[in-house]
Structure 1
Amino acid sequence: TLNRDELIPIPRCPVHKPCVNEAIRLFHSVLPRYSEIQAVRYVQTAKQIAIVVKNRELPETGLLTEAFAEKLASIGIEGVWLHLFPSSGKKVFGKGGWYLIWGKEASQDESGLWYGPAAFQQLLPVLAGEALDTALAFLKPDANSAVIDMYCGTGSGLKKWTQAGAKTLGTEISAEALRMAAMNAPRAETLTGTCRQRLPQMEKWLNAIEDGFTRLLYVNPPRTGLEDGIAEWITLFMKPVRMAYLSCSAGTLSRDLSILCKSEYYVDKIIPFDFFPQTIHVESLVLLKRG
């Protein structure tokens, strides 16, 4: 038998924040029929909303009247996008096809970080901030440090490393996330693409830094862990003095640590963080030193 997703309508969901329930209610009242717009997903990232449309051309909706926009603004929404993604399925977002149809293209969170409609945000931002501050205290970046931040996202870590005075380079596959990272940490250098694709540029960046700088590394990979060859590159070429690894999968973390710890690295501390309460997922911040 085939497993198929089942969509269950949950009006006024008790888990959502009130502003999310109200925004969904508003859009439900004005969105055209599916045959007219083919809207397949509603994605809300705090103050930014994206409607994913299974189409190649921008539909004429007329839904964002001045009165409707005023209602959105009254509940704190700052931007509304249509994202054209003809092959939308399991994957939420495609490449390109973003159209801002009302409001601002970016918003700021409670800590002043800029984010867009496709940004990932932690459910518990205070706890995520605590994990990052713990990594900061362990890495100890300063004006005599060179930090590489792999999978840097929208630049929350880049901002901390550059504020501490360190030379900083971030890598991230999402161009949208890096656009926000440039706003959040303008003094950091960034590379778009996978870490494996950008190894030559990372090596060139490290080689251009003067002798005597302390090499530091922060990695926050997806559930699949470090890409093939990255752990080996860390131990054979970069050789950071200290490294912080924030993992969302115990399985891939164990795999990567087995490679790192076969070299000169040892685990100084492992700190669990319950970023997703009432689920089986527990993230772990691993602090490693070069022996």
Structure 2
Amino acid sequence: MKQRQPPVDPGDRITIDIDNQSHTGDGVGKVNGFTVFVPSALPGERVRVQVQKVKKTYAHARVEEWEETSPDRVDPFCPIFEQCGGCQLQHLAYPAQLRMKERQVADSFSRIAGMEGVKVLPVMGMEQPWHYRNKAQVPFSGRRGETVAGFYAAGTHEIVPYESCFIQQETNDQTIQAVIDIVRELDIPPYEERLHRGLLRHVMVRTGKRTKEVMVVLVTNGPRLPRKRELLTRLEKRVPGLASVVQNIHPRRSNTVLGKENRVLWGKGWIEDAIGPVRFRISPHSFFQVNPDQTVVLYEEVRRRAALTGGETVVDAYCGIGTIGLYLARDAGRVLGVESVEQAVEDARLNAELNGIIHASFEVGAAEEIMPRWADEGIRPDVIVVDPPRKGCAPELLEAAVRMEPERLIYVSCNPATLARDAAILADQGYVTNEVQPVDLFPHTHHVECVAAFTREEGSSIPDGS
């Protein structure tokens, strides 16, 4: 059967009605049933566009004129919103952002998992959805002999300079600007990605929301750092709350921000912060949620759905530096964590000690390898918590979790699509969920976090793993 030709070509100018929104925030319209993605357009709008790229089943277009606008459209606060790739939804009123994310989760369950009966609760948003991020990562580059720093333009590695970011804590912005000024004053050469030469690749700043401690991480293309003493003296004078300056050495051609080696240049090699009553030590490589206020909301949802009474055994898979497991430890009899990153496990053990928690232990290894071994050894937790990366849980982990026969499996997800996929796998093995609670950890972006509690369906049998 001959494939139908797309009804549009690159360069075409057409008028299109936007009737949906993609999971990345782009407007979605149809031309004779053919999908066209239109960045910055909103559902309910009619727009005049120029087609940019055409694929077999969809096209991308750019707005040239709005003929009708949505009542949910607002003026973005940020002057570089159109150029910067950090936020995608500042032009959409915040209540509408929350409704969009709720639809995104519901669509994932119906379209990917075929589970129409799962109730998606309204997204838990923020009263003040600005200046929430506790971590900033800013790349450096050279432009016509001048050092520039900022955020990458959407879909590129072109740097957009900035002075303040409306989703960053203000301390982060002030610290970043201080570093930029000092680097220029001391003439420290920026990294040139295309030529793989120069020195300063990124600066990362982490700020403790509760402690007000600040960490500055200078990512360099090799171990050399000229004028180090002057740089540290100026940072100490200009950055209130400075607790740590770390040089991260990253000599490889790579899109990752951090290399493997850290050298503490000033202060301690970490900062501390708290989630609810639990304190955490945070080092340069630590995974720590970037929105501390909403992290408490998220973890309280996990705690509520875990329904611990004080004597239960809890497994925390993909545990990172132990944040969820240690948050639940006050209500549990025993906590077992597993994480593949050795440094994170070391931090988790230190964090348990920091909080006087003696009934939590952590093991290094891939969760999909350790969990089957634990199941074979007869470990039978009452509650399993999984908080996987965006790709979701490995099938081996889900199979082992089911074999452990927990009363509840709490799934924390940063990707509704893989949550829905894994929910269908769990349902086939007898564990089902009736509702999902989305939490908005990342206002003005397309990302959404979710919590779902799975329990064993009555009458279902558990696979024996043979």
- Return the TM-score normalized by structure 1: 0.86
Name the one with the larger helix percent. 1
2:189 to 33, 50, 61: 33
Equivalent of residue 248 in structure 1, options 387, 405, 414: 414
User: Aligned pair 1:197/2:377, yes or no?
Assistant: no
Distance 1:94 1:249 in 2: 26
Contact preservation (8 Å) 1:196, 1:229: yes
Task: Tell me whether 17-26 or 280-289 shows the greater mean CA deviation.
Answer: 17-26
Task: Give the structure-2-normalised TM-score.
Answer: 0.56
Q: What's the counterpart of residue 152 of structure 1?
A: 319
> SS state of the match for residue 401, structure 2?
helix
Mapping for residues 188-227 of structure 1, pairs under 5 Å: 188-199=360-371, 201-203=373-375, 207=378, 215-227=382-394
Q: Given the alignment, which residue of 90, 103, 113 partners 2:267?
A: 103
Counterparts of residues 257-276 of structure 1 (less than 5 Å): 257-276=423-442
Residues 88 and 110 from structure 1, CA distance in 2 versus in 1: closer, same or farther, beyond 3 angstroms? farther
Which of 153, 170, 175 aligns to 1:23? It is 175
| 1:92 corresponding residue in structure 2 | 257
Structure 1 range deviating more: 220-229 or 33-42: 33-42
**How many Å separate the matches in 1 of 2:371 and 2:385?**
15
Paired position in structure 1 for 2:124: none
Q: Report the counterpart of residue 63 of structure 2 in structure 1.
A: none
Distance 2:295 2:232 in 1: 37
8 Å CA contact 1:243–1:289 kept in 2: the answer is yes
1:58-207 → structure 2 map (5 Å cutoff): 58-64=224-230, 67-72=233-238, 74-95=239-260, 97-111=261-275, 112-186=279-353, 187=358, 188-199=360-371, 201-203=373-375, 207=378
Q: Please state whether the residue corresponding to 2:388 is helix, strand or coil.
A: coil
39-48 or 13-22, which moves further after superposition? Answer: 13-22
| 1:198 CA displacement | 2.2
**Structure 2 residue identity aligned to 1:101:** L
- CA contact 2:243–2:268 (8 Å) conserved in 1: yes
CA distance in 1, matches of 2:287, 2:425: 29
Give me the CA root mean square deviation: 2.5
Shift of 1:290: 1.6
SS in 2 for 1:196: helix
Superposed CA offset, 1:230-274 (max 9, x none): 212222x22211011011111111111111011221104310111
Cα deviations across residues 84-120 of structure 1 (Å, max 9, x unaligned)? Answer: 111152112233x111101112222144322112223
CA separation in 1, counterparts of 2:381 and 2:232?
Answer: 55
Distance 1:214 1:34, change over 3 A: closer
Amino acid of the residue matched to residue 257 of structure 1? A
The equivalent of 2:163 in structure 1 is 11
Residue type matched to 1:241 in 2?
E
Bigger radius of gyration: 2
The equivalent of 2:12 in structure 1 is: none
Structure 1 window deviating more from structure 2 (3-12 vs 246-255): it is: 3-12
**What SS does the corresponding residue of 2:237 show, helix, strand or coil?**
helix
Contact 2:369 2:397 in 1 (8 A): no
Could you tell me which runs of 5 or more consecutive residues in structure 2 were left unpaired when the two chains were aligned.
1-52, 54-154, 192-196, 208-213, 458-466
Aligned counterparts of 2:218 and 2:181: Cα–Cα separation in 1: 14
Alignment partners' CA distance in 2, 1:277 and 1:12: 17
Q: Structure 1: which 5+ residue stretches go unaligned?
A: none
